[in-house]
Every structure is written in structure tokens, then in C-alpha cells.
């Protein structure tokens, strides 16, 4: 019986097998790259807002404490976005005529809330609690980055589960003294791991890495 | 598929078009799914196992196509960028609101006009969850399924949202104008043509307004009607006391209880409190356990926990009562009662041994004479003052409601009524059929109906005014002991509803009067100089201090019983019993999907009612489940499917009222059959001489009793073999405390291939007391509300796809014609060696460091291996998108702390892990340990009889650890070495040794 396929088919078949493997690898690599890109994570991409509120100006320039606006960060899962009234405590006096602040004044005048675009947006099936982290020595800038250097807010970190677990598994790498939580100028000391281990012990930080810690 | 498509069609020609525009996808997401291409595309892209296709006999080819498409796109669905979200802060933030933290407000729910105290959880102004108010006498922290489900009633998208005149949208101002001109006519003639029809009124402020109206229009009349009224209770009291009095029972003090067809654990204004008191008296470890005798025609929750239950036709209960009375020395003359003599002798002997701490209670459905006899027996036994107390009636204006409605109908028919105002209630649907209320109504010149949804009565009225839900408006209400609660609203009326106070304000010529003003003004006058402080305290606490009625000591006239002596006739033939539906009551909750889908405690039927008959009658008439029969009584008749219920009295047929609505909303319409057309005013509770004819038709009933059985085969048989349910006599237990453990066999801990788990911190566990559980369903609805569990619809239930995380297994025990009942709540057992965990290919179900068997929805890919491997069959799979993701009002209702699951995801009990996490964070933030009792699961909180205990089993001082050490504690299917974290306390029986075989 004569052969059905020509000998050259061997080459083709080898090519297509290796090509297929390569193609599969390339697709996976591409998917992963896209998934980690700032297109997906929003890392480093300033989010436009109806009022161009600058953390850089208010935090770095004026030295306002985080909790002046994010008032519920120590007691609730939600850090809180300030009511218009909080803005107006100053802006009824300072920059009271600035056209940039007209939406704020309009909100106060008409009793219609301001709308902000959420920057740090976890999926709805992940439950994060600010108060628990702040209590356990995780500072604002650890997750939110150098807020005092952001004219408009952006994501400093990808907020992937891998990133969460990085700290949940090794809290000593990131934990800081409780009196430094809201200090935007705090930087990890050279002996962070050592200091961190001491704090983890002192604050009795448990490493919760089981699913229902965040997913319920 | 075609059958599913048809299911969304039968709307009826008179369904209002506005409803259709709002989207037909409320409860049965499936039907919409079948019809919208968008949804189909969504499915094709993301979910490989298109489970709905199984329902379609010709869908194999299409299924394979979908499979191919799904495989190609597998995982791509997860790559969508999250839709942008907005944060909308307050303009001026209220002081007490911390964004993200719930607040709890005390309020009360009127159930048949009588108050059930509640604490309502509110997230950023949205009420989301009902709990009982620990300070309220009728609640003591617990609640029932009606109050749990009322949160869905609030957000129900079918509630009426516009004022209508003759079906057309109209305005409040036009209404006021027409009302004013009608009132002007009435003012000219003393209000002779003005009538007000309400339910039972216990609200002091509303009663004051009604008094004012009756003074202003001296010729007007106030009528009251509840289809499940308590006329017999008040008439019975009148018979022997000469005046209507209310009876308050103390089941916590009673050692012997005889129930004459009274379902006191499930029905009535104090049922939640009764369940608590009764369970307490059954639990007393060292003291004497109480003993319960029940005689009843149809199985009830109370009958289910009885030590000696006697199934007897309703009209023969009177004979039993007479015989009991006679044997206790009360004149009244009583012949012996066939087949009940032994039961009576046992009860009498026990009652005589327990003078002063026994109790006889008669049911609402029994005639006044039975109530009168119960009073006489309690008097004779010296129970008054200890287990029985009398107070004035709860209703502000107590009347015989049947007579009250009858006189209104007479007046209407004679043309004497020109202006009729109906506050709540649905008399066109639920009035006795011989009154022919609908026809009489047509002769009233101006008819006004206030109700939360446009129902049958709204259709028969000129004006329909949308009513406010109790969570939307101020009010006040009395509890079973007279204690007043201020009803505090948690949200502004969602659909522009008005309260009864407002409408009465309009009738009184004060159209701007708000409910808040009416209630506050009333209480300001009552509370005196310190009223502001008292008001604030009362609103905060949920009870107005010192408003409970003081006990009365009415004089009993035994001679009255003699006068009634000869009036018994024993009708022959079959009787039909009219009872409130265990889930939708008299029909007022018929549009509530949670309650419709709730398996009825004894039949496990959902989405339907049926005519319940005994196995003996079924044999005699060769009927089987689902056979449609015609029940007729004289001229009148209804067609009803049959359900055979062991334990039913041989010649009694039970029909549940409240189904078969012609107009009440998308959920209620077309569900079940309407039994009211058989109910006459002189036979409200039972009618003798009923005819049953087989029609030859059949109706499929969605019953869950064979779903999720542990092992195959007959449930009761398996229960016996594997000792899933364990019970014993208290005497036996006292002589051999190991008797429960000897029933099963335990595995030594080291017998496992897997390394043991270590729990250095907490180890959560649960104990369920079978002796306390009555099977009332409060936990099932509480769980549904807390955990955002969807409603799936009748067809899905038929396929076994109901989603309830708690299933209450109801076991029969003993003889087919006279069985006992045991209820066993089954939830995820959180096994130490969980069979589900090891088979999950994606680790979506895993073991937490605190011993929880976690279910991580976002990891789950829907292989269903876990469910396959679960011997307890407690896992539920979202075969389709059962959650309603579109109806705006339902989004407000959901618990924000629990993920709203999509299709293709497995789910099950989590031990309310969101509550565990919340308590942990609060404790940690306050630098302390979680205290025992700080974490209360939703089911535990709701349970009226405190059958469920949750806590840390690592803490040896915790309640749950102590219960686990109890000799009654056992785990089920221990022989599989699953080592469940949820264990059960065996049920103890306290049978009378003199009635050995009874």
C-alpha cells in the first residue's frame, strides 16, 4: 500500500505542533501582560473628576490629616468620602469665588451631592475593611501610594489578589508603628523586616490567608 | 423550553400595562432568560454548562453548540474591565451615620393588628434585615417568618405606586376634593351614610382618631373584619365571664398542657413568645419537663411537638372538651368519645396531679363553648393567676367581626351606605362567601380603598390609595399583653404610600395631618409633662414602659355552661377545615416570593395550596397526590388538588386560605386555588357535610419533601436506620444517659488519611436542639434575607433547584394514620473531614483556620463535584441566574456584606461568616476577645424557641461547648467520619407512662 502522506508532511506536523505550543504560550503571555497592564489595573492613570481635587495640594501643601476628610477610616470598612459640608468649612472662606469650585458650591447650595469617580475599586465579592488594617499597623501610603504627590488620584497598586496576599502572608514587610499610620512621609527603615517582626508580635497580627477573610 | 416560555404568558387581560413595562423579570429570571437575546449571548460567552438546557428535551444539538462556544471563550468573560463606579457622599452628613456601618432601629410589625417588636438593620438609610427586639414581650429577640419576610414586602416592585380613580391615575388633591364634597353631604345628616371598615385596631392613636370620627359623624359606623379573626376567643369568654376578656397563657409555668385544637406555637399574637416559653419548660434539666396533650383535626406545629397527639375531627373536639370538663367535676353532661377515652383519661389524671400548674388552651377555630369549657377547667384546676391570666381585650374596639362585617353588608345592600372607607384588608377576596361582599359593595356611592397593592377590593372601589408599609410610616400597636410599641419608619415611602392615620386625618378635615403628627400628638397628651423624654425613650426602646394591661379577675359563671349543654349535634359525613396558610396566612402575604417558595412546615409544598386528606380517606376514595377534586357544599364548590397528609383526622379535609388571587401582583396571581368561595359566615373554620368528587384532572404540586434526601429510599426508614433523628423518653434518658450515643457509632479521631487541622484560635460550631425545634421556618427566611438567597419559582422547585440554605427535614414516625413528627433543620455541617473540600478541582471550597468550610464564589467554576460528594446534600447550585439584577427596588434590599451570586456557582451555609468577620474586627479594634454570644447567626437570632446555638467550641465556657458536652449531643452520619461541626441535641419525649402505647 502506498503512503498517503508525502515525507514533507513530517516537517509540517512538527512545525504545527511546536508552533501550536508556541502560539498557546504566546497567547497566555499576552493575556497575562494585558491583565497586569495599567489598562486593566489603572495603576498610574489619573482618574478625571468633576472637581479636580488635588491631594498634592491639600496633603503636601496644607498638611491636612487624612482623617479630616476620610473620617470613618478607623471605625468602618469604608474610609468615607467627605460630605460637601466638609469642603465648605474652608471653601466658604478660601477660594470662595474660584470657578473651579463652582460644582462644590452648587452642591451645597442646591443640596445635591457631588459625584466622584471611584479610583480604588475592588470587585464586589471582595470585602476589605479599612479599620482592621489601620488598627493593625498598615499605613495609608502602603496601599494608596504617595498620595501627597498626586494632583489627581490614581491607583498606586494593582489591587490584584496576589498583591493583597503578598502582605497577608508577610505582614512584617509592610507593617509600621501605629503612630505613623497617617504619616505620608514615613518610609520603611533599613531594618524593616526586623522592626516589622517585632511589631507583628507586639500588635498580635494574625496572618489570615483563608478565603472567607475577604470573600463572603 | 416552550413550557417555560408559556409560563410567563398567563398574565390575564386585566393586568395593568404599567407593570409589564417595569420588566417581567422579578422572581422567575428563567423566563426572561429564555426570551431575551442579550441574556443568551451573555450565557454563551461565560458559562459552559448551560444547565437550563437539561429542561429542554430537544436541546441537545444546541447544547453542544453552546458547549463549543463556551469552551472557546472559557475564561475570557473574566477579562472585562470593571465598570466604573461612583461614590456619592452626603451634602451634610447626619451625625449618627458612619458610612459602611449599619444602624439598628426599634419598631414593631402589626400582624393581624397586634404588635411584634422588631429591631431593623439599616445600611445607609436602607432597611435590609429584620431581627426581634429583645425588650419586646412578644419577641424577646426572636421573630417569625412573617416578620422576616416583611422586608421583601417593603421593596416588592408590585406594590401600588399611584392613586387611581376607577383604574385611571389621579391625584391626592382630586381625591381630597371628592372626599370633601361627599363628607359635606354626610355632615348634613350626621354621617348616616358613612362607614369605616378596618382590620383589628389595637393602635391607641388610630383608635382615638376613629373615636373622633364617630363623634364628628354620630350616625357613622366603624366595622372590623379579619378573615382569621378571634371571634370565638372573645365569644367564649363572654359566655362564662359575661364580658370579652383576653387570656394570657404562661407556658413557662405549665407542667401539663392540653391543647384543644390550638396551634399556639405557630398562630396568634403571642406565638413567638409561646414558643420561647414552651421550649424553656421542655428543657428544664433537673426540674420537671412539661407534658403536652394535643387533640386536633389537622397536623400543626404544636401537634408535632406533642407527647400525646390525638387526631380527631374538628366537631368532635367539643365532645372531648366536655368529657374533660365532666371528668374534672364540671357539670355539662358528656357522653364518652369513641377512640379518645384513653387519651382523655390520661390527660385528666395528669391535670388532676398538676392543679395550679397545668393549662388548657382552646384554638381560634373551635366554637365559643370549647373556649368556655377551657376557662372553666382552668378555673376548676386553680390555674388562674399562675398559668392563665386575664386582661381586657387587645382590640381598642372589640367586636364580633363576623357580625360587624355582616351588618355592614346588610347596610350596603339596603342602600344605606354612601361613603365607605376601607383601610387595608381585602374583603372582596376574603369576606365570607354568603355575604357576597363584592356585589353589595357596588351599591355604595363612593368607595375608597387604602392598600399596599392593587388587589381585588381596589378593583371594586372608586378610589385606590397606595398604602404605606409599616417600615415607611409612623404608628403604634399593642402586643399580646397590651404593651404599646411605637412603630418607627426606617425609610420614606418608596411608592408614595399613605398611612391609615393620614387618610383618617383627611376624613377628619385635616388633610395635611402626617402620621408622625397624629401619633406624637396622641402620646404627648398621654405622657404628660415629661412627654418628650418619654417619647424618645419609647421610640428608642421599641416599647412604651408601663402600658401592659394589668391582670383582671373576672367571675366565672359555670351555670352558663349548663345552658349550652344540649347544643351539640354530631354532624356526619366529611368536614372541611378552613385554616390560614402557614406561609401566606390569609392571603395578605401572597405576593411575597420568599413566603410562596417557603416549604410549608408539614406538607413541604411550595407555590401551591392543596386539600389535605388523611391516608385513610385517600384509600377510600382512591385519590392520590395531585388529583384534582371538587369540594362542594350545597351550591358552592371549589376545585383543589389533593395532598395526602399522614396525621390528618380521617374525615377532615383541610384547605388553606390565601391562595388563588385574581389580582394581587405577579407572584400571587395564579398560584394555588382560592378556598374562600367555600367559606360561609356561620362556618368560618369548619363546615360539615362536604362532598368530594374526583374531576379526573391532575395538577403538579411543587413539593420539596423528596428533594435532597440523605441517602435514597423512604426518609423515615433511613432516619430510623442511620439514626439521623434521635429521640428518647426522658425516663429512659435519666436511667441511661448514654442511650443517645449508643444509637450510633463514633469514629476514633485518628482514622483519616488527611493530616488533622489545628485550631489555635477560634473553632466555630453549632448545636441544634431537636427538642426545641418546632419546624416553624423562621430560620429559613431569616437566612434567605441575611444571605441574599434568590427565589427560583415553581418550575425550578419542581426540578429540585430551590436555593434555601436551610432545609428543614420533616420526619414522620410510627403509624401511617397517626404518626409523630420530628423536624430537623439541615444546613452545611462544616465537617472537620469535609468530603466536598477534597474533590474541588479549583479549591473553591476550603477549610478555614477556624474550621469553617468556606465557599468562595469567585473561584467556583461549577463542576458540582462538591455537591456530588456531600452526604448531607446541603449544597445549592445556581443553575441559572436566579438573582434579579435589574429591579432597582430589590437592589436596595440586599445585604451589602454578602456577595450576590451569579449563575454557575455553588453556595451553601457559611455560618454567617460576614457576621463572624464583623465581630472579629470590632473586637480587635477594641482590643478585646470576641465574647460568647457576640456572634449570632441569622437563624439563631430568629429562632423563637432558641433551638440554635452558635459559638466557639475552643472556649470551654461557651454555651455551644457546654451543649456539645451534653449527653444528648450527637453528630449525624458520624459513621462516615466527616466529624461535623454542626451537631444535634436529641429530642426528649415525656410520655405519660399510663398511656404506654399512645
**Residue B857: which of A74, A108, A215 has the nearest Cβ?**
A215
* CA distance linking residue B712 with residue B716, whole number of Å: 11
B716 pLDDT tier (thresholds 50, 70, 90): very low
Contact B858 A208 (CB under 8 A): no
Please say if the pLDDT value at position B914 is more than 60. Answer: yes
Which residues in chain A have Cβ-Cβ distances shorter than 8 Å to B82?
Answer: 121, 123
How close B512 comes to chain A (CA, Å)? 25
Mean pLDDT of B98-103: 92
Examine the pLDDT at A67 and tell me if it is beyond 80: yes
Structure-block grid coordinates of residue B604: 413541604
Query: Between these two residues, B674 and B557, which has the higher pLDDT value?
Result: B674
Partners of residue B79 in chain A, C-beta under 8 Å: 31, 34-35
Of B28-42, B46-60, B365-379, give the lowest mean pLDDT range: B28-42
- Give the range with max mean pLDDT: A205-209, B120-124, B528-532, B564-568: B120-124
Taking 80 as the threshold, does the pLDDT of residue B706 lie above it?
no
- Residues B135/B136/B142/B143 CA torsion (nearest 10 deg): -150
The answer, yes or no, to whether residue B46 has pLDDT greater than 50, is no
Across all residues in chain A, what is the average pLDDT? 91
How confident is the model over B566-604, as pLDDT tens digits? Answer: 545 566 678 999 999 999 999 999 999 999 999 999 988
CB atoms near residue B92 (< 10 Å): 13
The residue in chain B having the minimum alpha-carbon distance to the alpha carbon of residue A84 is: B91
Give percent of chain B with pLDDT exceeding 70: 88
How far is C-alpha A190 from the chain's CA centre?
24
DSSP category for residue B98:
-
What are the beta bridge partners of residue B111?
B114
Cβ-defined contact of A72 to B858 (cutoff 8 Å): no
pLDDT higher than 90, residue B663: no
Q: Which residue of A has its CA nearest to B89?
A: A83
Q: Does ipTM surpass 0.85 in this model?
A: yes
Residues of A in Cβ contact (< 8 Å) with B100: 72, 76-78, 80
Q: Which of B98, B101, B913 sits opposite A212 (nearest CB)?
A: B913
The verdict on a CB contact (< 8 Å) between A116 and B89 is: yes
**Closest chain B C-alpha to A130 CA, distance in angstroms:** 10
- With residues binned 3-state (H G I as helix, E B as strand, rest as coil), the percentages for chain A, rounded to 5, are 50, 0, 50
pLDDT band at B71 (very low <50, low <70, confident <90, very high): low
Query: Is there a contact between B86 and A131 if contact means CB atoms under 8 Å apart?
Result: no
Grid coordinates of B452: 399596599
Q: Is B18 exposed, middle or buried (0-12, 13-18, 19+ CB in 10 A)?
A: exposed
| Closest listed residue to residue B136, CA positions, set B273, B34, B277 | B273
Closest by CA to B946, choosing from B291, B318, B278, is: B278
The chain A residue lying nearest B895, using CA atoms, is: A216
User: Are A211 and B898 an interchain contact pair (Cβ–Cβ within 8 Å)?
Assistant: no
pLDDT at residue B128 is higher than 90:
yes
Which residues in chain B touch residue A127, judged by CB atoms under 8 angstroms apart? 897, 914, 917
On average, the pLDDT of chain B sits at 86
Determine if residue B830 is left, alpha or beta; phi over 0 gives left, psi from -120 to 50 gives alpha, anything else beta. Answer: left
Give me the mean pLDDT over the B911-917 stretch.
95
Q: Is the pLDDT at B818 greater than 50, yes or no?
A: yes
Rounded-to-integer distance, Cα B647 and Cα B94, Å: 57
**Cα B90 from Cα A112, distance rounded (Å):** 8
Q: Give me the torsion for CA of B583, B588, B594, B595, rounded to 10°.
A: 0
Predicted confidence band of residue B32 (pLDDT cuts 50, 70, 90): very low
- Residues B913, A80: C-beta atoms closer than 8 Å: no
pLDDT in tens, B922-978: 999 999 999 999 999 999 999 999 999 999 999 999 999 999 999 899 988 887 888
Residue B100: which of A39, A72, A215 has the nearest Cβ? A72
Confidence bin at B40 (pLDDT 50/70/90)? very low
**Residue A6 C-alpha, separation from nearest chain B C-alpha, in angstroms:** 32
CB contact (8 A) between residue A117 and residue B82: no
Contact check, Cβ <8 Å, B88/A114: yes
Measured CA to CA, the distance from residue B102 to residue B893 in angstroms comes to 13
pTM for the model: 0.88
Q: Do B856 and A111 touch (CB under 8 A)?
A: no
- Which DSSP category does B671 fall into? S
pLDDT band at B77 (very low <50, low <70, confident <90, very high): low
Task: Look at A216 and B897 and tell me if their CB atoms are within 8 Å.
Answer: yes
| Distance of alpha carbon B296 from alpha carbon B740, whole angstroms | 30
Q: Please, where are the H alpha helices in B830-912? A: 835-839, 865-868, 888-893
Check residue B661 and report its DSSP letter: B
The predicted pLDDT at position B157 comes to 92
Q: Is B556 left (phi over 0), alpha (psi -120 to 50) or beta?
A: beta
Q: What is the pLDDT of residues B211-255, one digit of tens each?
A: 999 999 999 999 999 999 999 999 999 999 999 999 999 999 999
CB contact under 8 A, A83 and B89: yes
Q: Which of B726, B775, B767, B717 is nearest to B989 (CA)?
A: B726
Query: How does residue B332 score in pLDDT terms, banded at 50, 70 and 90?
Result: low
pLDDT in tens, B144-200: 999 999 999 999 999 999 999 998 999 999 999 999 999 999 888 888 999 999 999
Given a contact cutoff of 8 angstroms between Cβ atoms, the answer to whether B615 and B649 are in contact is no
Q: What angle do CA B441, B445, B451 make, to 5 degrees?
A: 55
B898 vs A contacts (CB less than 8 Å)? 216
Find the closest chain B residue to A117 by CA distance: B86
The neighbouring-strand residues paired with B826 are B807
Which candidate from A76, A81, A212 shows the least CB-CB separation from B87? A81
Pairwise CA distance, residues B437 & B447, whole Å: 13
The backbone region for B113, taken as left when phi is positive above 0, alpha when psi lies in -120 to 50, beta otherwise, is left
Write down the pLDDT at residue B334: 72
Question: What's the pLDDT score for residue B721?
Answer: 58
Q: Which three cell numbers stand for residue B533?
A: 423624654
Pairwise CA distance, residues B945 & B947, whole Å = 5
Q: Nearest by CB to B925, which of A117, A121, A131? A: A131
Q: Do A135 and B89 touch (CB under 8 A)?
A: no
Report pLDDT for B815.
Answer: 77
Quick one: pLDDT at residue B639? 93
Confidence check: pLDDT of B784 > 60: yes
Q: How remote is the C-alpha of A212 from its chain's centroid?
A: 21
- The pLDDT of residue B421 is 95
Question: Quick check: B795 pLDDT over 90?
Answer: no
Q: Do A123 and B858 touch (CB under 8 A)?
A: yes
pLDDT score for B592: 93
Residues of chain A neighbouring B90 (CB-CB closer than 8 A): 83-85, 113
Amino acid at each position: 500500500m502506498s503512503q498517503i502522506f508525502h515525507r514533507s508532511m513530517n516537517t509540517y506536523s512538527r512545525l504545527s505542533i511546536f508552533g501550536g505550543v508556541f502560539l498557546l504560550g504566546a497567547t497566555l503571555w499576552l493575556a497575562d501582560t494585558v491583565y497586569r497592564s495599567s489598562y486593566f489595573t489603572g495603576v498610574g492613570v489619573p482618574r478625571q473628576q468633576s472637581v479636580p481635587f488635588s491631594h498634592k495640594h491639600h496633603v503636601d501643601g496644607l498638611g491636612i490629616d487624612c482623617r479630616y476628610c476620610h473620617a470613618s477610616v478607623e471605625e468602618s470598612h469604608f474610609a468615607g468620602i467627605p460630605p460637601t459640608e466638609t469642603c465648605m468649612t474652608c471653601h466658604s472662606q478660601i477660594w470662595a469665588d474660584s470657578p473651579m469650585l463652582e460644582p462644590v458650591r452648587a452642591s451645597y447650595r442646591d443640596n445635591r451631592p457631588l459625584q466622584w469617580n471611584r479610583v480604588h475599586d475592588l470587585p464586589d465579592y471582595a470585602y476589605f475593611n479599612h479599620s482592621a488594617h489601620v488598627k493593625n499597623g498598615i499605613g495609608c501610603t502602603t496601599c494608596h501610594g504617595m498620595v501627597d504627590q498626586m494632583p489627581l488620584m490614581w491607583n498606586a497598586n494593582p489591587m490584584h489578589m496576589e498583591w493583597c496576599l503578598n502582605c497577608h502572608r508577610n505582614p512584617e514587610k509592610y507593617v509600621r508603628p501605629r503612630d505613623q499610620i497617617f504619616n505620608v512621609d514615613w518610609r520603611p527603615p533599613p531594618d524593616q523586616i526586623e522592626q516589622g517582626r517585632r511589631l507583628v508580635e507586639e500588635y498580635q497580627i494574625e496572618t489570615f490567608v483563608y478565603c472567607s477573610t475577604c470573600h463572603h | 423550553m416552550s413550557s417555560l416560555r408559556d409560563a410567563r404568558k398567563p398574565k390575564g387581560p386585566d393586568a395593568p400595562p404599567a407593570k409589564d413595562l417595569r420588566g417581567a423579570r422579578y422572581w422567575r429570571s428563567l423566563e426572561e432568560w429564555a426570551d431575551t437575546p442579550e441574556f443568551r449571548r451573555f450565557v454563551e460567552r461565560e458559562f459552559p454548562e448551560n444547565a437550563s438546557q437539561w429542561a429542554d428535551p430537544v436541546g441537545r444539538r444546541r447544547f453542544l453548540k453552546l458547549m463549543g462556544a463556551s469552551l472557546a471563550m472559557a475564561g475570557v468573560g473574566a477579562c472585562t474591565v470593571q465598570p466604573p463606579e461612583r461614590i456619592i457622599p452626603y451634602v451634610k452628613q447626619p451625625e449618627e451615620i458612619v458610612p459602611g456601618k449599619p444602624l439598628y432601629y426599634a419598631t414593631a410589625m402589626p400582624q393581624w393588628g397586634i404588635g411584634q417588636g422588631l429591631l431593623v438593620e439599616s445600611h445607609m438609610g436602607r432597611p435590609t434585615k429584620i431581627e426581634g427586639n429583645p425588650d419586646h414581650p412578644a419577641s424577646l429577640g426572636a421573630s417569625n417568618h412573617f416578620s422576616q419576610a416583611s422586608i421583601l414586602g417593603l421593596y416588592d416592585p408590585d406594590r401600588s405606586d399611584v392613586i387611581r380613580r376607577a383604574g385611571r391615575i389621579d391625584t391626592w388633591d382630586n381625591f381630597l376634593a371628592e372626599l370633601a364634597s361627599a363628607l359635606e353631604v354626610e355632615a348634613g345628616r350626621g354621617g348616616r351614610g358613612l362607614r369605616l371598615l378596618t382590620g383589628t385596631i389595637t393602635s391607641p392613636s388610630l383608635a382615638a382618631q376613629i373615636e373622633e370620627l364617630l363623634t364628628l359623624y354620630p350616625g357613622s359606623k366603624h366595622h372590623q373584619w379579619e378573615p382569621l379573626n378571634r371571634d370565638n376567643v372573645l365569644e367564649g369568654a363572654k359566655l362564662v365571664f359575661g364580658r370579652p376578656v383576653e387570656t394570657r397563657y404562661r407556658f413557662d409555668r405549665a407542667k401539663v398542657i392540653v391543647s384543644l385544637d390550638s396551634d399556639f406555637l405557630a398562630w396568634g399574637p403571642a406565638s413567638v413568645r409561646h414558643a420561647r416559653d414552651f421550649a424553656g419548660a421542655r428543657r428544664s434539666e433537673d426540674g420537671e419537663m412539661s407534658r403536652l396533650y394535643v387533640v386536633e383535626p389537622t397536623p400543626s406545629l404544636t401537634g408535632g411537638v406533642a407527647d400525646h397527639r390525638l387526631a380527631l375531627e374538628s366537631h368532635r373536639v367539643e365532645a372531648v372538651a366536655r368529657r374533660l370538663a365532666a371528668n374534672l367535676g364540671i357539670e355539662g353532661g358528656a357522653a364518652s368519645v369513641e377512640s379518645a377515652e384513653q387519651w382523655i383519661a390520661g390527660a385528666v389524671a395528669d391535670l388532676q396531679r398538676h392543679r395550679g400548674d397545668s393549662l388548657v388552651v382552646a384554638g381560634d377555630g373551635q366554637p365559643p363553648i370549647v373556649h368556655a369549657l377551657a376557662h372553666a377547667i382552668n378555673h376548676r384546676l386553680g390555674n388562674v393567676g399562675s398559668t392563665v391570666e386575664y386582661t381586657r381585650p387587645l382590640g381598642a374596639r372589640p367586636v364580633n367581626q363576623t357580625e360587624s362585617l355582616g351588618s355592614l353588608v346588610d347596610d350596603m345592600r339596603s342602600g344605606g351606605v354612601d361613603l365607605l372607607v376601607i383601610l387595608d384588608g381585602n374583603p372582596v377576596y376574603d369576606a365570607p362567601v354568603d355575604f357576597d361582599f363584592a356585589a353589595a359593595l357596588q351599591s355604595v356611592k363612593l368607595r375608597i380603598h387604602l392598600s399596599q397593592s392593587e388587589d381585588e377590593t381596589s378593583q371594586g372601589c372608586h378610589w385606590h390609595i397606595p398604602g404605606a408599609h409599616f417600615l415607611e410610616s409612623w404608628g403604634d400597636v399593642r402586643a399580646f399583653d397590651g404593651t404599646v410599641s411605637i412603630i418607627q419608619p426606617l425609610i420614606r415611602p418608596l411608592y408614595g404610600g399613605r398611612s391609615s392615620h393620614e387618610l383618617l386625618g383627611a376624613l377628619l378635615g385635616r388633610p395635611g395631618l402626617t402620621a408622625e403628627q397624629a401619633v406624637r400628638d396622641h402620646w404627648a397628651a398621654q405622657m404628660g409633662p415629661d412627654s418628650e423624654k418619654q417619647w424618645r425613650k419609647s421610640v428608642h426602646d421599641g416599647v412604651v414602659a408601663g402600658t401592659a394591661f394589668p391582670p383582671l379577675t373576672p367571675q366565672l359563671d359555670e351555670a352558663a355552661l349548663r345552658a349550652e349543654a344540649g347544643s351539640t349535634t354530631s354532624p356526619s359525613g366529611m368536614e372541611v377545615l378552613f385554616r390560614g396558610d402557614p406561609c401566606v396566612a390569609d392571603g395578605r402575604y401572597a405576593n411575597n416570593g420568599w413566603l410562596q417558595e417557603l416549604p410549608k412546615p408539614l406538607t413541604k409544598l411550595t407555590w401551591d395550596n392543596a386539600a389535605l386528606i388523611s391516608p385513610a380517606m385517600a384509600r377510600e376514595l382512591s385519590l392520590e397526590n395531585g388529583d384534582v377534586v371538587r369540594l362542594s357544599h350545597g351550591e358552592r364548590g371549589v376545585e383543589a388538588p389533593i395532598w395526602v397528609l399522614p396525621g390528618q383526622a380521617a374525615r377532615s379535609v383541610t384547605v388553606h386560605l390565601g391562595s388563588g388571587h385574581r389580582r394581587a401582583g405577579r407572584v400571587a396571581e395564579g398560584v394555588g386555588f382560592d378556598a374562600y368561595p367555600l367559606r360561609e359566615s356561620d362556618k368560618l373554620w369548619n363546615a360539615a357535610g362536604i362532598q368530594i368528587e374526583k374531576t379526573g384532572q391532575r395538577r403538579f404540586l411543587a413539593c420539596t419533601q423528596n428533594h435532597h434526601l440523605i441517602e435514597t429510599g423512604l426518609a423515615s426508614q433511613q432516619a430510623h436506620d442511620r439514626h439521623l433523628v434521635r429521640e428518647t423518653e426522658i425516663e429512659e434518658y435519666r436511667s441511661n444517659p448514654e442511650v443517645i450515643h449508643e444509637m450510633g457509632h463514633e469514629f476514633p479521631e485518628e482514622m483519616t488519611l488527611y493530616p488533622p487541622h489545628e485550631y489555635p484560635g477560634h473553632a466555630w460550631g453549632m448545636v441544634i436542639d431537636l427538642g426545641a425545634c418546632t419546624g416553624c421556618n423562621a430560620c429559613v427566611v431569616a437566612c434567605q434575607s441575611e444571605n441574599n438567597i434568590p427565589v427560583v419559582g415553581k418550575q425550578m422547585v419542581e426540578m429540585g433547584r430551590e436555593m434555601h440554605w436551610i432545609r428543614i427535614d420533616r420526619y414522620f414516625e410510627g403509624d401511617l394514620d397517626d404518626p409523630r413528627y420530628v423536624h430537623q433543620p439541615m444546613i452545611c455541617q462544616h465537617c472537620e473531614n469535609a468530603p466536598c473540600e477534597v474533590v474541588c478541582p479549583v479549591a473553591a471550597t476550603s477549610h478555614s483556620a477556624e474550621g469553617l468550610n468556606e465557599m468562595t464564589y469567585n473561584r467556583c467554576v461549577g463542576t458540582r463535584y462538591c455537591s456530588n460528594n456531600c452526604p448531607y446534600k446541603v449544597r445549592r447550585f445556581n443553575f441559572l441566574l436566579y438573582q434579579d439584577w435589574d429591579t432597582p427596588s430589590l437592589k436596595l434590599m440586599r445585604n451589602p456584606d454578602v456577595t450576590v451570586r451569579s449563575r454557575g456557582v455553588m453556595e451553601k451555609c457559611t455560618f454567617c461568616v460576614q457576621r463572624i468577620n464583623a465581630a472579629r474586627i470590632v473586637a480587635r479594634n477594641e482590643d478585646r476577645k470576641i465574647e460568647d454570644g457576640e456572634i449570632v447567626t441569622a437563624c439563631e437570632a430568629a429562632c423563637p424557641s432558641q433551638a440554635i446555638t452558635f459559638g466557639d467550641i475552643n472556649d470551654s465556657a461557651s454555651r455551644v461547648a457546654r451543649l456539645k458536652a451534653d449527653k444528648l449531643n450527637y453528630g449525624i452520619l458520624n459513621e462516615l467520619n466527616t466529624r461535623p461541626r454542626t451537631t444535634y441535641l436529641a429530642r426528649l419525649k415525656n410520655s405519660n407512662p399510663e398511656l404506654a402505647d399512645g
